[in-house]
Amino acid sequence: MPIVDMPVKQLFEYQGVNPRPGDHDAYWQRALGLMRAQGTGFELIEADFKAPTVDCFDLYFTGVGGARVHAKLLRPKVISGKLPAVLQFHGYTGNCGDWSSKLAYASHMVVAALDARGQGGLSEDAGRVKGNTHQGHIIRGLDEPDPDRLLFRDIFLDTAQLARIVMAMPEVDETRVGAMGGSQGGALTLSCAALEPRVARAAPVFPFLCDYKRVWDMDLDKGAYAELRTYFRLFDPCHRRADHVFEKLGYIDIQFLAPRIKAKVLMGTGLIDEICPPSSQFAAYNKITSEKEVVFYPDFGHEDLPGFQDMTFQFMCGL
């Protein structure tokens, strides 16, 4: 099979190379305290989009730092008893997608699809600006003395806050909530399941934001990771602070949140992925201690993995 990274046997043994900050646990306990203080309040606005058997709403809540965060919420018109729910997360710089793409799930469960802060949707990046900041989110806050200013900290917290909001809805069975997404959405799926461990099922596809140093060492800081090289070229051209930079990125490295996950996990991975190399994904996967499975696509990279959406649908139907 084609290999751009390492053999499959080695993938299952790989533990990552990015440094883990010594206060990582305290960092996230503090962050979660701020998120929980936001509560589970939200605003629902009936959407213009109409479907015959599904009600559609724009959902807004106030995230950490005061950002107005948006998600699309869909639920069956006829509700009998408590329903399962699925949380959906999108790729880097994108948005939560069309209403119609969610109808298969919304026919029998509640669906909440998040817009990541400042990217291609309606959620705000409240870091001194309103609205869209679109790119540079990995390095946003990297030069702040306080690592709490890392933007992806807040985006990760938004995933958990959305989960808590959905779990608190009277029509939702809080024990039957799943999360799913690809690339950045795969990373946010794992962050959600880590920071809200009541999430019961997680289906990440080639998760992003894992093992930054490995991506750098493989010379794959391009595409979604291109801002890493841009940062060094502009702000540390001689790499005198490289060790500090990668350690700081460790706060928002999914591999170090992965041990918190209690959900049943189904992951899809293309073995010739040059955007999120398989080893970076496995730095996180190998730290998950709950029930898990990975489906390999030997001839596929960072692209649609045929059949995996159907597998994910059936996986979530098990909620």
Domains in the chain: ranges and CATH: 8-317 (3.40.50.1820)
Q: Does position 132 have pLDDT exceeding 90, yes or no? A: no
The pLDDT score that the predictor gives to residue 126 is 85
C-beta of residue 149 within 8 angstroms of C-beta of residue 141: yes
Q: What is the model's pLDDT at position 293?
A: 98
User: What would the mean pLDDT of 159-182 be, rounded to a whole number?
Assistant: 98
Q: Is the pLDDT of residue 2 over 60?
A: no
User: What are 254-287's pLDDT values in tens digits?
Assistant: 999 999 999 999 999 999 999 999 999 999 999 9
Q: Residue 57: is its pLDDT beyond 50?
A: yes
Confidence of residue 140 (pLDDT cuts 50, 70, 90): very high
Q: What's the pTM value of the predicted model, to 2 decimals?
A: 0.97
Strands 68-76 and 110-114: antiparallel
Q: How far apart are CA 85 and CA 273, in angstroms?
A: 30
Place 211 in a pLDDT band, splitting at 50, 70 and 90: very high
Band (222; pLDDT cuts 50, 70, 90): confident
Which residues touch 116 (CB under 8 Å, ≥6 apart)? Answer: 89, 90, 123, 137, 155, 158, 184, 188
In which band, very low, low, confident or very high, does the pLDDT at 1 lie, cut at 50, 70 and 90?
very low
